[in-house]
Amino acid sequence: MIRLIESYLGEWKTSKQRKPLILRGARQVGKTYVVDKFGGEHFKYYLKINPELDNNLKSIFQSKKPQLIISELSALYNIPIIAGDTLLFIDEVQILPEAIEALRYFYEDMPGLHVITAGSLLDHTLNEMPSSMPVGRLEFAYMYPLSFNEFLLANGQQGLLTYLNDFNFETPFSNALHQKLTEYLRLYFYIGGMPEAVKVYVETKNLIEVEKVHSQILTSFKYDFAKYGTRRQQDYLNDCLEYSALHAGKKVKYVNINRNVHSSYLKESMLKLELSRIVHLVRRTGSSKIPINQYVDKEAFKPFFLDIGLMCHLSKIKLSNISDLVTDFEGALAEQFVSQELLSLFGFYEEARLYYWSREAKNANAELDFLFQHSNNIYPIEVKAGKTGTLKSLQVYLAEKVEHTGIRFNLDFPTVGTNLSANIMVNGEFKKLDYSLISLPLYLAGGLSKVLNTLKT
């Protein structure tokens, strides 16, 4: 299975500014698989150690001398550790904070040695690390489930992927291509991008087996909850987990999670799920210019789940329900999909953050699904599950912020509408809005940056 982050790891390997790398991401998004593949293909020697499986490692990493550490590791595992020839991978590193602290010494004293670390609950450990955290002496990379493009690649659809990558408005899609891409989109809605689920589908084409994988992954998440606190706190986490799947894209209202629990406990649980990267919280911002995070309301956020396939499983949605995308849940699925695709557009070195905009006023509410920054511009995004739907919120945003270009994702063919107009109520008065609309099918969400570069908006 090919993951796009592999090319980034290749760049890291040859970079003169390379530092020890911490690979961050939720449980089972493929971190270990990617590093195993990278180590086996690009290095003469590859040593993977796991403090969860080997208690001897704790005593070794008590030392602050990297030469002594690698000497003992090399003897213990009988693998040469040579700068430039060996990749040292410390998996499940959250079990051993001393190994994280040791990264600074590897950077300072052995900069030629390639070191990668990863872990399922690593962000909790990093959040609790004392001042000995080696800031400035390491770098981060971020992993997510397979994007739609990676899903196509895993299913052997290189032709479709090439066509998507080469898309421009001068050569629109044929009905046949649009239909085939829409079919794979619907399949992705159900299977999602968790590597094991995709692997099982590719090998068996058995959707029952995919459901089993989803169930096992979600069970592993819940087992992790035992590491977060008391039984009651675990129950809160489970409540928030299920709420996030059933209410993706909806502003969090704690009373709807559990009216018998104080909101502060539920908020803490939601933030822990975010720290575990099981949930991505999209926060409200009032910004229409860069920086996009200038006017963020930290108390207003919408949850999106780690993976659309896991979300469907928790929501009891079967493939037969979404073959025509006519369920009551269709809007949430479309928004969930776009959220994952927008996250995939960030650089692997960036901790991705998504934002939305809303106006809450008596008889004049408006809410945009996402704001997306491209270059130094911010674009409002509306997501529609079908081929039709009003653009009221997008038009309100453009009129209020005096902007002129909006983006819509739906199931229709791609188009660019210019010289559009609407009369919009702004501050109690009607205002004529002249604007352009970039309308893209959902399956092109992962190509948004390329589309904007092509249009030079």
pLDDT tens track for 45-104: 999 999 999 999 999 999 989 999 999 999 999 999 999 999 999 999 999 999 999 999
Give the domain CATH number at 23.
3.40.50.300
Strand-by-strand arrangement of the 114-118 sheet: 45-49, 86-90, 114-118, 21-24, 139-142
Domain count of the chain? 3
Helix extents (H) in 323-423: 330-344, 392-401
Helix, strand and coil content of the chain, in percent to the nearest 5, comes to 45, 20, 35
66, 12: one domain:
yes
User: What does pLDDT average to over the chain?
Assistant: 92
Cα angle: 359, vertex 364, 367; to 5 degrees: 40
Percent of the chain clearing pLDDT 90 (strictly above): 77
Q: In the structure, what pLDDT confidence band is assigned to residue 132 with cuts at 50, 70 and 90?
A: low
* Bridge partners of residue 139, in order along the sequence: 21
Q: What is the rounded radius of gyration, in angstroms, for the C-alpha atoms of the chain?
A: 23
Domain limit, last residue, from 345, 380, 411: 345
The arithmetic mean of pLDDT across residues 285-306, rounded, is 90
**How far is residue 344's CA from residue 352's CA, in Å, rounded to a whole number?**
9
Q: In the structure, what pLDDT confidence band is assigned to residue 133 with cuts at 50, 70 and 90?
A: low
Residue 310 inside a domain? The answer is: yes
Q: In the structure, what pLDDT confidence band is assigned to residue 330 with cuts at 50, 70 and 90?
A: confident
In the predicted model, is pLDDT for residue 288 greater than 90? no
In the predicted model, is pLDDT for residue 269 greater than 80? yes
DSSP state of 261: S
pLDDT tens digit sequence for 382-424 = 999 877 778 999 999 999 888 899 999 999 999 999 889 998 8
268, 409: one domain:
no
Q: Within 10 A of 296 (CB to CB), how many other CB atoms are there?
A: 17
132, 43: one domain:
yes
Model pLDDT, residue 323? 53
Q: In the structure, what pLDDT confidence band is assigned to residue 457 with cuts at 50, 70 and 90?
A: low
Domain that holds residue 171: 148-345
Give the three-class secondary structure for 117: strand
Domain limit, last residue, from 288, 322, 345: 345
214, 339: one domain:
yes
**How far is residue 90's CA from residue 31's CA, in Å, rounded to a whole number?**
12
DSSP state of 24: E
Q: In the structure, what pLDDT confidence band is assigned to residue 337 with cuts at 50, 70 and 90?
A: very high
In the predicted model, is pLDDT for residue 172 greater than 80? no
DSSP state of 386: S
Q: In the structure, what pLDDT confidence band is assigned to residue 260 with cuts at 50, 70 and 90?
A: very high
Model pLDDT, residue 326? 44
